């Protein structure tokens, strides 16, 4: 994956950002390229190593993003009732850094919340994951964050029988 200065990117943890600088740095061992990514008022340095694809990716294209929204309105995957097992599973899903994984985590936690209260960790993960997805949603579909958040709420709303 070759990014350039000025490219919009999705950081796996912090969400939508822009590459503002590229620089070779020596941290541990040989010098490697690092991308400086501006995310809000924070700059994150990301190494261009063999894990780059799980750390940075281009924002999802419009057609693909619209397809992902079906995940939010569909059924959630069952989650373990043990909070430690649940945390491990959800973080495992997020390791690939894909938008599909964000939707999967959000949908599953929203469904789980209908059955049991969310732990503090679950609530924090849900909030952070939603914020990342809303940023990408706004960029990919050219809508405001408020519009993306409203649409997400509608898609996640439980269906009345």
| CATH number of the domain within which 122 lies | 1.20.58.1290
86 and 66 in one domain?
yes
Would you say how long the chain is, in residues? Answer: 161
Predicted pLDDT at 161: 42
d(CA 127, CA 141): 21
User: Is 26 part of a structural domain of the chain?
Assistant: yes
Domain range for 147 is 62-156
Q: How far apart are CA 154 and CA 67, in angstroms?
A: 16
Q: Is residue 71 part of a domain?
A: yes
- Supply the pTM of this predicted model: 0.88
In which residue are the tokens 């959000």 written? 106
> What's the first-to-final CA gap in the chain, in angstroms?
47
Give the model confidence (pLDDT) of 64-80 as tens digits. 999 999 999 999 999 99
Tokens for 9, please give them. 């990117």
Contacts of 28 (CB under 8 A, 6+ apart): none
Check whether residue 53 and residue 66 sit in a common domain. no
Give the integer Cα–Cα distance in Å for 98 and 137: 13
Digits of tens for pLDDT over the chain (161 positions)?
A: 689 999 999 998 899 999 999 999 887 788 899 999 999 999 999 999 888 998 999 999 999 999 999 999 999 999 999 999 999 999 999 998 899 999 999 999 999 999 999 999 999 999 999 999 999 999 999 999 999 999 999 999 875 44
Domain boundary pick from 41, 57, 73: 57
Q: Where are the alpha helices (DSSP H) in 9-156?
A: 52-55, 62-73, 83-94, 99-115, 120-141, 145-156
CATH number of the CATH domain containing 49: 2.40.10
What pLDDT was estimated at residue 29?
A: 81
Claim to verify: residue 141 and residue 119 sit in the same structural domain: yes
């Amino acid at each position: 994956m070759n990014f350039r200065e000025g490219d919009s990117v999705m950081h796996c943890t912090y969400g939508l950002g822009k590459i503002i600088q590229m620089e070779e740095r020596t941290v541990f061992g040989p010098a490697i390229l690092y991308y400086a990514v501006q995310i809000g008022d924070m700059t994150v340095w990301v190494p261009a190593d063999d894990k780059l694809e799980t750390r940075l990716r281009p924002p999802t294209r419009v057609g693909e993003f619209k397809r992902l929204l079906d995940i939010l309105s569909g059924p959630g995957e069952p989650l373990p009732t043990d909070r430690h097992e649940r945390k491990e599973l959800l973080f495992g899903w997020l390791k690939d850094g894909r938008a599909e994984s964000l939707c999967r985590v959000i949908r599953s936690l929203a469904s789980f919340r209908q059955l049991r209260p969310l732990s503090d960790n679950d609530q924090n993960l849900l909030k952070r994951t939603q914020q990342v997805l809303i940023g990408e949603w706004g960029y990919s579909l050219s809508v405001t964050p408020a519009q993306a958040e409203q649409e997400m709420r509608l898609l996640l709303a439980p269906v009345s029988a």
